[in-house]
Amino acid sequence: YSKSKPFPKDFLWGASTSAYQVEGAWDEDGKGLSVIDMGKHPEGTSDFKVASDHYHRYKEDIALFAEMGLKAYRFSIAWTRIYPKGTGEINEKGIAFYNDLINELLSHNIEPIVTMYHFDLPYALQEKGGWSNRETIDAYVNYAKTLFKYFGDRVKYWLTINEQNMMILHGAAIGTLDPKIENPQKELYQQNHHMLLAQAKAMKLCHEMCPNAKIGPAPNIISIYPASSKPEDIIAASNFSSIRNWLYLDAAVFGRYNSIAWSYMEEKGYTPIIQEGDMEILKSGKPDFIAFNYYSTSTVAESKNDPSDKNSTGDQQIAIGEEGVYRGVSNPYLEKTQFGWEIDPVGFRSTLREINERYNLPLLVTENGLGAYDKLEEGDVVNDDYRIDFLKKHIEQARLAITDGVNLIGYCPWSAIDLVSTHQGISKRYGFIYVNRDEFDLKDLRRIKKKSFYWYKDVIESNGEKT
Ligand code: BG6
């Protein structure tokens, strides 16, 4: 560690949230319904109606972020607050809310990093086919234009779509796939094509409308390890990486489909319909950086070509339709979180190096963190040493990646404050700040600084020297 390079001087030490997971106020001030509001959430877990009530408490929350020393805050704008029906009339109260939020951040010298779309597609668009319908591309671009127009004078970092790859690989989970569709994978790859077009158009528009701003995609990218040195395992890992990672980034950066992923789609009958001019559109949008979310790596072996592939342990993210491509296995070298996710800080360095090598662009980490059952103790204390340990190891590996030559511009762990997890309720906490509520008992929603809050403050103050 002593020989490693320091973090850059203007490094964006941040933290992340997303609108539907933190804001609450699900139907207030003209907000329309999103697929999340209409979706199911697993039994025993909270819905997203109140969440952390950030919509009403954002000033208090931002004051805490400032106290923690955050240089950046990555949040998402709820499309349905701006356009309740996805398109059509602008909801001025939605504009006002995000104006206030952005101004509040800037008044504390916190750089806003804005995700334009984080899973919460307007339900009105979903009813018309969602991403299967090409009109959603226009709705997204129109929405993007509005965001650039109203907030582009102050927001310098834009993220197009959060975890597009997860929405495609697990389409049913987010509620953007019609469950009655016959060949869901084909439909999902068609949706993917439309999202890629929407993203490319938004990146181009951003450069035209906000020449000083930067924009990039924000998929979930992870190193994929082969289970052994068996050559077939190496090919399986490479195939999976192409389908899971590079398909999305190659399209965003180079404006083309990755050949391995394309062959996979051909073989399975998933190839999207590409209209004339589409590939030119894809090529016309260029990202300024790559943002990505990282939680863990995945380890895969050669497929056994039978249904047991699906039941394999290891990667909890194995997707339907990928049978015959790989088989997920547990990595014997890695420990797991309370929620069964493998913990792999070295894999973080490896992921950073891989993305850097393939694209040679600045990188911004927009999520990384540990979900755990935190315990609020007597005297408003939360001793989340396990979270500190997790983040510390990842920050050390990020620094090694910088030493390797990776141009890492920021690190925004998930999450700035406790919020409702995508599938496992509020009990799966990620924040530096505890929110006093349970799954169904909202209690007083008061904010309590966890031990990790004080620790992260020191990390930021020392620009990563003190972990
Ligand atoms: C990412 C998402 O997939 O992972 C977040 O962008 C999500 O929205 C985070 O909350 C953690 O996943 P989970 O299921 O533990 O909430």
In tens, the pLDDT along 86-135 reads: 999 999 999 999 999 999 999 999 999 999 999 999 999 999 999 999 99
pLDDT at 314: 47
* Cα distance from N-terminal residue to C-terminal residue, the chain: 12
Contacts of residue 16, defined as CB under 8 A and 6 or more positions apart, other chains included, come to: 73, 74, 75, 366, 367, 412, 413, 414, 415, 416
367 lines ligand 1 (CB under 6 A): yes
Ligand 1 atom having least distance to the Cα of 341: 15
Q: What are the structural domains, with CATH classification, of the chain?
A: 12-291+342-461 (3.20.20.80)
Q: Taking the complete model, does pTM exceed 0.95, yes or no?
A: yes
CA-nearest of 335, 463, 333, 334 to 399 is 463
Expressed in angstroms and rounded, the spacing between residue 295 Cα and the centre of ligand 1 is: 9
- CB neighbour burial string for 39-56, b if at least 16 within 10 angstroms, e if fewer: bebeeebbbbebbbbbbe
Residue 61 Cα distances to 104, 276, 342, 431, 447, angstroms: 10, 48, 30, 12, 8
pLDDT at 315: 47
DSSP-based three-state secondary structure for 291: strand
User: What CA–CA distance (Å, rounded) separates 286 from 270?
Assistant: 26
Both tokens of residue 176? 């953007």
Ligand 1 atom having least distance to the Cα of 163: 6
Instruction: Indicate the top mutation candidate among 421, 428, 429 to test ligand 1's pocket, ranked by most ligand atoms within 8 A of CB.
Output: 421
Residue spans of the chain under pLDDT 50: 314-317
384 lines ligand 1 (CB under 6 A): no
pLDDT at 320: 54
Whether the ipTM is more than 0.95: the answer is yes
pLDDT at 55: 98
Both tokens of residue 21? 């997971």
Ligand 1 atom having least distance to the Cα of 166: 3
Residue tagged active-site, from 104, 367, 378, 465: 367
19: amino acid identity, one letter: A
Q: Which residue has the tokens 């959603």?
A: 136
User: What CA–CA distance (Å, rounded) separates 59 from 104?
Assistant: 7
| Known active-site residue 127 | no
In tens, the pLDDT along 242-290 reads: 999 999 999 999 999 999 999 999 999 999 999 999 999 999 999 999 9
CA-nearest of 264, 326, 337, 323 to 299 is 326
Q: Please provide residue 71's backbone torsions phi and psi, each rounded to the nearest 5 degrees.
A: -95, -20
pLDDT at 351: 98
DSSP-based three-state secondary structure for 341: coil
